[in-house]
Structure 1
């Protein structure tokens, strides 16, 4: 028999197991018992750490996001970086939506939360790559920083989230390109 896992090692194993259960069964099929069995632990161990499957599912998603951070290096071109960011975000959203099927009424009725609450819980403390991209573009003189008002700066994120919530999938490449070329860049480019 192997050595008993504790602390961070045990928590990582539990969250990995929860992620796999989400991927196979969706949120509605997620059970604390199945996660405990897959992780090789007991349900009381899970209950000491998470108050139900909602918080466990959010923690599992947060761990996956932390394992696969969204980083867009300096490409020297705002458009290229924005499209790369949206592509990476789409890949993450597809994985999360497929695994979690979170936008079901089950999750929200069980946790008494809203999509906004869920988004805040998932991205809490995560790096903001869009801000870094916009700062670099402003330093390169590609955009006018005075045009980056809060509504404009958050526009791509809002469009993306809205699409995912309304369609239960990530926006297709052509739509992401249109958002960048026809909506966002005309608002911020230096004339």
Structure 2
């Protein structure tokens, strides 16, 4: 009688990297940035510290990769609905589902050790947005093409206003904003600022 032995497949490449960054996220949430170590992640991912070091040169870069992966799981991509208001509200609702991730990012920004690698929120924002589609810009570009909003009114502070309001709310309340607040932001603040003026 021949007994078949199970063969353990060695993870490589993208599969291994995904496993590592998922473990890194779990340990970050569980232990916090200060207590997190590369060795801890390596053990939990069943790999070696040297494997991590070849991919990420610091704990901070590994943590940002883990956050970026979490954000990529459910991108706030909104299909063309032919109406900028409907698209903005759906975008904000989808973005609100990231509230726990944004709360973790805010905690990192208050961590002295993390700030040695990324000193400002803007540095973190640039690192996380690199290579990612700006879905808010996609919505606004469609609205401009439909003549719903005036492109000349989309100055940099106005263009990101609704997203900035959501992030500020999450930072202050550690929770996604309620639907009625999203409606107020879109209907009472943003759209009046960017609508085309009637002739």
Establish whether TM, by shorter chain, passes 0.5: yes
The yes-or-no answer on 1:102 pairing with 2:108 is yes
C-alpha distance after superposition, 1:109-128 (max 9, x if no partner): 34252111111111111111
Which of the residues 64, 75, 80 maps onto 2:86? 80
Indicate whether 1:185 and 2:191 are aligned: yes
Q: Which runs of 5+ in 1 are unaligned?
A: none
1:142 aligns with 2:148: yes
Q: 5+ residue gaps in structure 2?
A: 1-6
Of residues 118, 125, 130, the one that matches 1:124 is 130
Distance change >3 Å, CA 106–CA 2, structure 1 → 2: farther
Alpha-carbon contact 1:163-1:169 (below 8 Å) kept: yes
Deviation at 1:150, TM superposition (A): 2.4
Distance (Å, rounded) in 1 between the aligned partners of 2:91 and 2:13:
34
1:13 corresponds, among 8, 14, 19, to: 19
Q: Deviations over 1:92-139 (max 9, x none)?
A: 132342588323324543425211111111111111111111122222
- The question of whether the paired residues in 2 share the 8 Å contact of 1:19 and 1:60 is answered with yes
Question: How many pairs are equivalent?
Answer: 191
CA RMSD between the two structures? 2.3
Q: Does 1:66 align with 2:75?
A: no
CA separation in 2, counterparts of 1:187 and 1:140?
Answer: 17
Look up the match of 1:38.
44
Structure (1/2) with the larger helix percentage: 1
Which structure has the larger Rg over C-alpha atoms?
2
Name the TM-score, length of structure 2 as normaliser.
0.83
Superposition TM-score, scaled by structure 1 size? 0.86
